[in-house]
Amino acid sequence: MIVMKFGGTSVESAEAIKRVSKIVSSRLKQSPVVVVSAMARVTDQLVGMGHKAAAGDCEASLELLRALRERHLQTAADLLGPKRSASLTPKLEAFFSEMNDFLRGLAAVRELTPRGSDYLLSFGELLSSLIVADAFAIRGLKSAWVDSRECLVTDSTHTRAVPKMAETRERCKKKIVPIVSKKRIVVMGGFIASTVEGVPTTLGRGGSDYSAAVVGAALDARRIEIWTDVEGMMTTDPRLCPDARTIKRISFNEAAELAYFGAKVLHPATLLPAIHQNIPVYVLNSRNLRSTGTQITARAPRSQDVFRAITAKTGISIVNVVASRGIMVHGFLRSVFEALDRHSTSVDIVAISEVSMSFTMETKRLPKALLTEMEQIADVTCEDRQAIICLVGEDIHGKPGIAASVFNTIAEAEVNIRMISQGASEINISFVVKESDVPRAVRRLHEHFFPAKGPALSLQRTERQGRGTRGVNGAHRTNAAAAKKASRSSSGNSKSLVAEKKAGIRPGLNL
């Protein structure tokens, strides 16, 4: 059995869904289970509808709903023809009617809770999966639609629920295996699940990848295929840098690091279930039927390049917490960490000294109550519109000169670095810059570490190039000194120690 996941752009239109049918036909012998996202942009539109209704603008939200209905009915008609689409339409209409009732109710109460949001957003995947299942059937593929809410069981952390693997495994075995053993193709929506009590939940934006991996792990699939709109995992986001190249092979650890630090092509938690059961994951291009894409496995051959890839995560805030004068230094850090824990906040990069701490986290996840609480014990300042740039590669382990080369390149691009981190595992070097500096910094780094022509940049060349040039933030240093200093200091305190605190930030999975 294999799991094939198709993202929003891969099911965005009748044409795209026809391509999906062809791709799935080529895998029939491997007993595919198909997981689909909502059609492209639909989840954003559902979010928009929810906001409009909650703001009391019922008519505007229903107007958006009408457009959504039109698009889905038209796609179904284009794919299925009048007869078959007539039999599907009542099922689609039942969903639109539920959404209509919900939006009206929302406009009356004017409050969209996380639970309500999950309910509303779940319709995107319910609609697309119903259409895809019928599109397969009319093309001679024996298919069966399965309601993901009856298969994936999560906790009740609405908007980013955590799968409960034991229950999910049991449900998937019961609901999916009998269908697959009759040689039928299961089609189900990604992203959506439900609590044990049956309340709809979602796995967080971009979560269909994660659904596919969870289903793959639950069914002990032989492989998990993530079909998307690019040729695989690439050396950086091709939208930022058109010279980005496809990575043929990459390890679980490297790919997980890239996904966590902003490579949107994979939801950050996708690889957890795959790693746990050592299931290979492939990232493939649904616009290219012969795509070979990227293979993600426990180990990957050494890269010819210094790094495997560069990624950037925007929407980051830096929070600086400095012990107020007169407050006992002893216990300061403990109080800060306890406050973080009480608010279940997860941070990315941390820089610490005796009397101050700076940390980064996603701006949208920064609770106001946390800042208020910290203000009781410290002076707190917050800077938003920051980004983390991360260079990932297992082969950088134990090689001197690499950090210096990175920071020299950034200095040459005249980009200021705000915080720096290199974890003890040495699989990545990450640092914080202003969001607006991301395109310039990433392009320059990509040019340097993945030159378009000629052989891949060797480490020797990296070291030579970096020597004696300007260091981080414009200071003149030798490479080794700059690198050492860079990986130890941040926020201007010479005694500061940079630590990477990633435990707890990755969505937990009860495997």
Q: Pseudo-torsion of CA 291, 294, 300, 303, nearest 10°? A: 100
Site for ligand ASP in 117-136 (CB under 6 A): 124
Nearest approach in angstroms of CB 506 to ligand ASP is 17
| Residue from 8, 189, 216, 273 in contact with ligand ADP (CB under 6 A) | 8
Q: Does 206 bind ligand ASP (CB under 6 A)?
A: yes
Task: Return the structure tokens found at 249.
Answer: 């092979």
Task: Give min distance, CB of 116 to ligand ASP, in A.
Answer: 17
Strand ranges of the sheet holding 192-195, from the earlier edge strand across to the other edge: 153-154, 192-195, 200-202
Q: What values do phi and psi take at 92, rounded to 5?
A: -65, -45
Query: CB under 5 to 8 A by kind: which of ligand ASP, ligand ADP, Mg ion, none does 38 bind?
Result: ligand ASP
Binding span for ligand ASP by CB under 6 A among 36-44, 154-162, 352-360, 388-396: 36-44
Beta strand pairing call for 32-36 and 185-189:
parallel
- Which residue number is nearest to ligand ADP in terms of Cβ? 7
Out of 263, 269, 352, 406, the residue judged to bind ligand ADP by CB under 6 A = 263
Size of the site for ligand ASP (CB under 6 A): 12
Q: How far from 19 is each of 7, 140, 158, 171, CA to CA, in Å? A: 13, 14, 33, 30
50, 116, 190, 293: which one contacts ligand ASP (CB under 6 A)? 190
DSSP bridge pairs for 313: 388
Q: Establish if 43 lies at the interface with ligand ASP (CB under 6 A).
A: yes
Beta pairing, strands 249-251 & 185-189: unpaired
- Going by C-alpha positions, the residue among 185, 203, 157, 260 that lies closest to residue 21 is 185
Shorter beta-carbon distance to ligand ADP: residue 311 or 405: 311
77 vs 72: CA distance, rounded Å: 9
| From the list Mg ion, ligand ADP, ligand ASP, none, partner contacted by residue 237 (C-beta under 5 to 8 A by kind) | ligand ADP
Instruction: Quote the least distance from Cβ 215 to ligand ASP, whole Å.
Output: 13
- Of the candidates 99, 193, 233, 389, which one interacts with ligand ADP according to CB under 6 A? 233
Residue 309, interface with ligand ADP (CB under 6 A)?
Answer: yes
Smallest separation, CB 312 to ligand ADP (Å) = 8
270: contact with ligand ADP by CB under 6 A: no
207 touching ligand ADP, by CB under 6 A: no
Q: Which residues contact 451 (CB under 8 A, 6 or more apart)?
A: 457
* CB-count burial class (<10 Å; 0-12, 13-18, 19+) for 170: middle
SS3 6: strand
- DSSP for residue 5: E
CA dist., res. 322 & res. 307, Å (int): 35
Nearer to Mg ion by Cβ, of 206 and 471: the residue is 206
Instruction: Figure out which of the listed residues 2, 4, 7, 107 binds ligand ADP, where binding follows CB under 6 A.
Output: 7
Burial (0-12, 13-18, 19+ Cβ within 10 Å), 307: buried
Residues that bind ligand ASP (CB under 6 A): 7-8, 37-38, 43, 124, 190-191, 205-208
Residues that bind ligand ADP (CB under 6 A): 7-10, 37, 206, 228-230, 233-234, 236-239, 258, 263-265, 309, 311
